[in-house]
Amino acid sequence: MNRWITTLFAVITFAFPLQGSAMSFEEQLLHTDFSPVSRFTDLKGQISPELLKMAMSGYRTLKEQGKVVRDGILTIIDFNKPSFSDRLFVIDVNNGHILYAGLVAHGSGSGEVFAENFSNNPGSHRSSLGFYTTGDTYDGKHGYSLRLFGMEPGINDKAESRSIVIHGADYVSHDYVRIHGRIGRSQGCPAVSFDNFQEIIDLIKGGSCLFIYHGDRSYAFKSSIINPGLARMPSGIDPFS
């Protein structure tokens, strides 16, 4: 796995060469020798350099394709973390600062404390991995909510038909964790705390990039966004072997 991650990021860096001595935060994240936590201290202990590089590569791909229309905002959900810890991070891409960090739910079909199983299928009540763009807001059965559009065919492109949205939920709170040892679970939506869900939605709405991550190598193999070269590989070749 480590060998594959190293190779993946080498391909990403080759695909997006750096120019000049003065690199932006976005460029530095794509540089294989750069550790973002060494310079931006609020990232330390929150998001791994490997996850940041993967998220930024997809963000940049979608931006170049014109699918990210709200530049400078990147949301990462790290489902490697347990549900009782902060695992939703909104990042200022231009300056490398975390604008928000907090709890977020996974689907009831994905697991208990940890999200371990993922699906794109309606009725699965599982979370879907991969890259999304945020849409508009609306008032639905959960109140003020944010539409999400899955960008990855076969991975999360049924998000809209599954009504996968960001909304507030009373089971996403530290009080709930104190009683149950974890937050509650959704029907597949990345639900956030009722305490500040409106602020979160307004921060990322309108065409920003969202990346839901888990250390599941089958996702990395299927995704043509984090590594477009994988989409051109002959079938039957497993880069993890």
- What integer pLDDT is reported at residue 9 of this predicted model? 46
Task: Say whether pLDDT at 22 is over 60.
Answer: no
237: in domain: no
239: in domain: no
Helix (H) or strand (E) holding 144: strand 143-150
Question: If pLDDT is split at 50, 70 and 90, which confidence band does 227 have?
Answer: low
One-letter amino acid of 180: H
The parent domain of residue 69 ranges over 2-229
pTM (two decimals)? 0.81
What the block records as the tokens of 194 is 């009722």
166: in domain: yes
191: in domain: yes
Helix (H) or strand (E) holding 74: strand 73-78
- List pLDDT tens digits, range 169-203: 999 999 999 999 999 999 999 999 999 999 999 99
By CB atoms closer than 10 A (0-12, 13-18, 19+), residue 47 is buried
128: in domain: yes
Domain of 6, CATH number, reads 2.40.440.10
Task: Say whether pLDDT at 25 is over 60.
Answer: no
The average pLDDT across 9-31 equals 48
- List pLDDT tens digits, range 49-97: 888 888 999 999 999 999 999 999 999 999 999 999 999 999 999 888 8
- What integer pLDDT is reported at residue 235 of this predicted model? 41
- Among 3-12, 102-111, 186-195, 232-241, name the one with the lowest average pLDDT: 232-241
How many domains does the chain fold into? 1
When the pLDDT of each residue in the chain is averaged and rounded to a whole number, the result is 84
Question: If pLDDT is split at 50, 70 and 90, which confidence band does 14 have?
Answer: very low
- What integer pLDDT is reported at residue 41 of this predicted model? 66
11: in domain: yes
% of the chain with per-residue pLDDT over 90? 65
197: in domain: yes
Q: Is the dihedral of CA 16, 5, 3, 86 positive or negative?
A: positive
